[in-house]
Copies of this chain bind each other. A is one copy, B any other.
């Protein structure tokens, strides 16, 4: 397997044809059918206009209360609340939220880094749909199926440090179900769901440093089974989750 970055993109602004830009690079730089392309959500969010100037946000009562508790700007708290189903944990300035997509992460994944001063970047509204749109254009450009992952960088319970995870997926299964397979002693495996979407996303983090201008990374030589794909498969159902509540 080979992991390699596409060349840098210009700064993306709302309305940019990101899919076209990535598709052109993919074809010119040697992406082939069967490759998987990982794209940082920030460029997707920017192209989709999911950038908000804090000065344009009118914080409500709940946001003002949250701002007082956390020391965060009231406008940012308003956005965090509007992007969240609920706050899962709070301690001092740390807010762990469940987004409307079901992702559990700090500040509902709203981030100011690599955003113009005074603005913040939200997640795409429907990252799987964003992945499908990219996938269609890139696959057409290279003449065959290219899988797409839209990534974000999240903290984790129990583990220090950030890793990239898959928030949107198109054209392959996010989870490989090994049930029915056998171990080396011929015993049937009971429950081993391999989170291949997150494995690939994590690998892309090796190139997508916070300060780097590398928003698109290619994995070549990873066999995947063609499927519609959906990063939602990687969200543990609340009733199976011992830590969400």
Residues of A within 8 A of B (CB): 1-4, 11, 89, 91, 94, 96, 103-104, 112-117, 153, 156-165, 174-176, 178, 181-185, 187, 189, 192-200, 202-203, 205-207, 209-211, 213, 222, 233-237, 240-244
CB distance from A157 to the nearest CB of B (A): 4
- 5 residue pairs, one from A and one from B, having the closest CB atoms: A161-B195, A202-B202, A157-B243, A203-B203, A104-B158
Residues of B within 8 A of A3 (CB): 1-3, 203
Which chain B residues lie closer than 8 Å to A192 at the CB level?
113, 153, 162, 210
Given A161-B193, A162-B193, A234-B160, does the pair A211, B242 have CB atoms closer than 8 Å? no
- Additional A-B contacts beyond A160-B240, A181-B211 (15; CB < 8 A): A2-B2, A2-B3, A113-B187, A158-B241, A160-B195, A160-B234, A161-B175, A163-B195, A176-B209, A181-B209, A183-B210, A189-B211, A199-B202, A199-B203, A206-B222
B242 A195 Cβ-Cβ under 8 A: no
Main secondary structure of the interface of A (DSSP, over half): loop
The docked-state distance in angstroms from the alpha carbon of A213 to that of B164 is 27
Specify the chain B residue showing the minimal Cβ separation from A42. B184
Q: Can you name 10 A-B residue pairings with CB atoms under 8 Å?
A: A2-B2, A94-B242, A158-B236, A159-B195, A160-B233, A161-B194, A162-B195, A163-B199, A163-B202, A194-B210
Q: Are A89 and B181 in contact (CB under 8 A)?
A: no
